Amino acid sequence: MLSTQILFGNLSFAQTPPTTADVVKTMIAREVDASAHKRLFDYLSVERSERTGGKLWTEHVVETPVGRVRYLMAEDGKPLTPERDAQERGRLANDIANPAAFEAREKAQKDDEAHARQMLELLPKAFLLGDLREAGADWRIDFKPDPAYSPSGIEEKVLHGMSGFLLIDRKDLRMHSIEGHMEKDVTIGFGLLATVHAGSSFSSLKAPYQGQWRTTHVLSDIRGKAALFKSIARNQDVTRSQFHRLDTPLSLAQAVALAEQPPAP
């Protein structure tokens, strides 16, 4: 039997089991708090996406207060040529020389974890949530669109068209993973503006590192067509590993110097 002693740590005075709403509400609050007090890391990233032009990029990523510094180490499993490596280091040197442009570019980029965050925000109000089920060290909660909810904006309409499940770590009450898939086409503007096709999906996986929960895998496959036959696509497959927490925030120049070194194993 689930108990609020598990849910609320030292608060063991309550006897009734938590509800799905209790768990989801507490998990979201902890995710929001963690995002507001996020520690900075460096890590190894392996990504294939539109950003990489469909190539498989292996990058050493260093987080700073104003954005992520990325140093490309290999493409499609092969180290860069000396000429390509010189171009990459030149790009980073240009970022150091133009920190305002780097910061503006980072702010403009859509974070690859955005779908998971948006889905968490929508869960309590836009989805019908299933009962709590134990799944190893997690609680599993299935979700499906609430037909009574009217989504606003293209992103909400796409996410609201998805069904899936959420895994929440029972000890830390942090999101372990979320998966969503679209069972039928979602049309926008009666299909005149855009259509996102059934089969589109996304997933996000997290794991704890040095007391912090970090995203280790993001998989997104959003397919469709927009007005004037423009393709809708947000396809990416990102795996992160070798996380190391930074003791203090680094300047842009310090982050570049670290990124250009091989990541510690």
The answer on pLDDT for 118 being more than 90 is: no
Residue 155: predicted pLDDT:
78
Name the residue with higher pLDDT: 175 or 155: 175
Mean pLDDT of 122-141: 95
Mean pLDDT of 104-123: 79
Confidence of residue 111 (pLDDT cuts 50, 70, 90): low
Residue 4: predicted pLDDT:
41
- Map residue 112 onto helix, strand or coil: coil
Closest CA to 117 of 155, 67, 91, 60: 155
Closest CA to 63 of 210, 214, 238: 214
Residue 195: predicted pLDDT:
86
Give the position of tokens 């920190």: 99
Q: Model-level pTM?
A: 0.86
The answer on pLDDT for 116 being more than 90 is: no
Confidence of residue 229 (pLDDT cuts 50, 70, 90): low
Sign of the alpha-carbon dihedral angle for 245, 247, 250, 256:
negative
The answer on pLDDT for 227 being more than 50 is: yes
The answer on pLDDT for 174 being more than 60 is: yes
The answer on pLDDT for 263 being more than 80 is: yes
Across the chain, what does the average pLDDT equal?
88
Confidence of residue 6 (pLDDT cuts 50, 70, 90): very low
**Alpha-carbon distance 63 to 80, whole Å?**
23
Residues 6+ apart with CB under 8 A from 212: 34, 38, 39, 41, 245
**Alpha-carbon distance 201 to 194, whole Å?**
17
Token digits of residue 59: 């990058």
Name the residue with higher pLDDT: 115 or 119: 119
The Cα diameter of the chain in Å comes to 66
